[in-house]
């Protein structure tokens, strides 16, 4: 993960430099691209920080071992629910929220309510019913 973290540090620095150059080029008048480039740089640095802190917490991973084999990646990476319909509902609700920004606030509030419902269901899907832990 050290290599991945270093790559994201470099990408973030590049994007910050590009954002500054672009800002001077447009004379700080274009307010869609400038914040977007700065946000991309910040997000790259957030990913780099996460990878670095994860590397410190868990140590050398299979990707960083020069003598590692493909089989070292085998195993369970988490708990997944392939039968779950909650993510689909949340995606549709988020689409309704974005549509509400263009159409009207009443659509936005309907989508926000649905988003809260589906997010709650997805978070607590393993707490009730057949698959409760």
- Clarify whether residues 47 and 90 are in a common domain: no
- Total structural domains in the chain? 2
Residues 18-44 have pLDDT tens digits of 999 999 999 999 999 999 999 999 999
- The reply to whether 114 falls in a domain is yes
Q: Report DSSP letters for 46-84, one per residue.
A: HHHHHHHHHHHHH-S-GGG-TT--GGGG-S--S---TT-
Q: Are residues 55 and 102 in the same domain?
A: no
Q: Say what the pLDDT of residue 82 is.
A: 75
Note whether 51 and 15 are same-domain residues: yes
| pTM of the predicted model as reported, rounded to 2 decimal places | 0.56
Round the average pLDDT of the chain to a whole number and report it: 89
Determine, yes or no, domain membership for 124. Answer: yes
Range of the domain at 54: 2-65
pLDDT of residue 1: 73
Tell me, yes or no, whether 15 and 57 share the same domain.
yes
Same domain, 20 and 60: yes
- Distance from the first to the final alpha carbon of the chain: 31
């Amino acid at each position: 993960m050290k290599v991945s973290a270093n790559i994201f540090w470099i990408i973030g620095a590049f994007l910050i430099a590009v954002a500054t150059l672009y800002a001077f080029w447009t004379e700080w008048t274009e307010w869609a691209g400038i914040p977007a480039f700065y946000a991309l740089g910040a997000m790259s640095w957030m990913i780099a920080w996460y990878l670095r802190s994860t590397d410190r917490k868990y140590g050398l991973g299979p990707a960083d071992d020069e003598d590692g084999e493909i089989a070292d990646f085998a195993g369970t990476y988490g708990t997944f629910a392939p039968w779950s319909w909650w993510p689909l509902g949340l995606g549709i609700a988020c689409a309704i929220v974005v549509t509400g920004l263009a159409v009207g606030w009443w659509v936005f509030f309907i989508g926000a309510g649905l988003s809260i419902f589906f997010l709650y269901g997805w978070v607590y899907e393993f707490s009730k019913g057949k698959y409760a832990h």
